[in-house]
Structure 1
Amino acid sequence: MCGLSIKDWGKFALLGLIWGSSFFWIKLGLRELPPLTLVALRILLAAVVLTLVAWAGRVPVGGLRRWADFLVIGILNAALPFFLITWSEQHIPSGVASILNSTVPLFTILLSPWFVPEDRWTAPRVVGMGVGFLGVIVLLSPQAFSSGLSGSLSGHIGMLLASICYAVSPIYARRRLSGLDPRVQALGQMWVAAALIIPIAGQVEAPLTLPRLPLSWLAVGWLGIVGSCAGNLLFYSLLNSVGPTRTALVSYLFPLVGVILGVGLLAEPLTWQIFAGGVLIIGGVLLVNARRLWFWPPRKASGVHLLEEL
């Protein structure tokens, strides 16, 4: 994470807190709303607020003509992962969801060499991926040996699929939408996602109902305005300035925020599987971004090359 400016570090920390707390607010919203309705309200609110932000800032929106790219990003970075996460949290604690979502950098490292040839696999990355996915197995193990593919295991799998979406989308956005104003990127993504998810919610969960409880409205407001609007503005700003790999590392903060809120405010259990799996996943993510393994002898080099390797 070297080379980030103070401003980028501030964006990084704020985004981690915003998105790390989203799992908590999703859990609260699900107490009254079905998953597709919650996602549809969240995305619609975010799209409306982003439109007002763009209008107030007099942002040129000519880039919105690239509808095909926004269709891909709207699916991979909003509609599909939002639904997968919300649906999964019906079956697993919010703290576990935040831990599983922190596997995004692992999937990014796994997929990146296939699309970016110079981003090769290294010893720390291979070991880190192994450690990280061992953590996933630890989280899955109680359900994997007792309930087959039903119950909470399906929630774990849904979260992992959402993580894969989040690993692919920044690579695609960096390649196809680089240079666009972050407000345009977030706006195009959200309106495409809204156009996709609202009709589906209207068919599957008809008749659509609005929340009645103030806490449910607060959850929708947080997810739409703070999580999806402000969060995506920060995300695309970081993506443009530091690239997809470093931006994906924001998920370091998700387990810390998610587990603290889930255990402290929702009385979710903190089992040894959650603790051990979380430590292994975070350790794996740290390893894949290390310059070298501490037990791996460095290559013989001289001068500045040796310093860079260490």
Structure 2
Amino acid sequence: MSDQKTLSPRAWAELLLLGLVWGASFLSIRIALDELPVLTTVLHRTFWAALLLWGVVLIGRIPLPRDPRIWVAFLVMGALNNVVPFALMAWAQQHIESGLTSILNGTTAIFGVLVATLVFTDERLTKRRLAGVTLGFLGVATTIGLGHLAQFSLRSTAQLAVLAGTLSYALAGAWARLRLGHLPPQLAAAGMLTGSTLLMLPLTLLVDGPPQFDLQPRTWAAVGYYSLVATAGAYLLYYRVLAMAGASNLMLVTLVIPPVAIILGAWVRHEALSANTYAGFALLALGLIVLNGPRRRD
């Protein structure tokens, strides 16, 4: 069975908006990193986003789960979907361009197919999916450059950190389907971000010390954007687009994010990417298009 749907103009508009919101998040995180340590940056992201989403839950009078196992599932989801990828990618952005980070972030869909194939019996690695995954990994290899990987430079390590973060996102997707799929999405997102905040707080205090609040206005603006708009707001928009477009079409958002991040990075921070990076993105985008192509019954 497939959730492939015909996209309405409204669905297209909101999908593009989601891509713009997430694409701009890479620049805002990089700006915050000019003044904040990595883990503090992540703690701000999860804490303020959780507060906003709990407000949404309370206003919507969504009942809270009473089963302790669900709250444990929130902790695991927070670790997989927030703590690990947010921290790895924030650290990586100190050493590679925002646009490059956004391109490598697109491998989330590639890893998601592989993880789903391993975890769920109704997800099979068809010829089409295998072709898409292969193209995706060829794109990654082209972007990073296999010769650079052999050098184990700080730059290549940062790129591998982003890939590790995308694998964590893929694992989180499988975990959400197994443990949280029955919950209202607003509650699942609020619980997840609460779990990640509870995990981040002691880690941040141990590594970075108490968070500082006497920050420059541009830093607060960046924190406000990536926590309230690009995290809390984007989660709510994500589920709206998911309901209208279906999970398969929603994958198209990964094609919108990198161009936005690349343009903003070049405009604001004068970032420049190599030719092999653009070639790698083209291959990765082609792989994602193949994965999102019309499905046939096998």
Q: State whether TM-score is above 0.5.
A: yes
- Once the two structures are superposed, what CA deviation does each residue of 1:143-183 show, in whole Å capped at 9, x if it has no partner? 7167x223111110111011111122122212322232111
Residue 162 of structure 1 aligns with which residue?
A: 165
Quick one: which amino acid aligns to residue 289 of structure 1? N
Identity %: 34
Matched, 1:185 2:181: no
Structure 1 residues 287 and 194: CA distance shift in structure 2, 3 A: same
Residue 130 of structure 1 aligns with which residue?
A: 134
Quick one: which amino acid aligns to residue 280 of structure 1? L
From 63, 68, 71, the equivalent of 2:72 is: 68
TM-score (norm 2): 0.89
Query: Is the CA contact (8 Å cut-off) linking 2:76 and 2:195 kept in structure 1?
Result: no
Quick one: which amino acid aligns to residue 171 of structure 2? V
SS for the counterpart of 2:145 is: helix
**Alpha-carbon distance between aligned partners in 1 of 2:249 and 2:115, rounded to the nearest angstrom:** 15
Matched, 1:200 2:203: yes
RMSD between aligned residues: 2.4
Residue 104 of structure 1 aligns with which residue?
A: 108
Which ranges in structure 1 are unaligned for 5 or more consecutive residues? 293-307
**Alpha-carbon distance between aligned partners in 1 of 2:67 and 2:218, rounded to the nearest angstrom:** 35
Residue 305 of structure 1 aligns with which residue?
A: none
Which ranges in structure 2 are unaligned for 5 or more consecutive residues? none
- Once the two structures are superposed, what CA deviation does each residue of 1:10-38 show, in whole Å capped at 9, x if it has no partner? 44332222112111111111111111111
The CA deviation at 1:43 is 1.1
**Alpha-carbon distance between aligned partners in 2 of 1:171 and 1:247, rounded to the nearest angstrom:** 16
Matched, 1:116 2:120: yes
Count of aligned residue pairs for this structure pair: 293
Query: Is the CA contact (8 Å cut-off) linking 2:7 and 2:245 kept in structure 1?
Result: no
- Once the two structures are superposed, what CA deviation does each residue of 1:239-292 show, in whole Å capped at 9, x if it has no partner? 577665554443222211111111222210132022111111111111223348
**Alpha-carbon distance between aligned partners in 2 of 1:153 and 1:137, rounded to the nearest angstrom:** 11
SS for the counterpart of 1:212 is: coil
**Alpha-carbon distance between aligned partners in 1 of 2:58 and 2:294, rounded to the nearest angstrom:** 44
Structure 1 residues 152 and 240: CA distance shift in structure 2, 3 A: same
Structure 1 residues 211 and 219: CA distance shift in structure 2, 3 A: farther
**Alpha-carbon distance between aligned partners in 2 of 1:211 and 1:95, rounded to the nearest angstrom:** 29
Quick one: which amino acid aligns to residue 256 of structure 1? P
Quick one: which amino acid aligns to residue 155 of structure 1? A
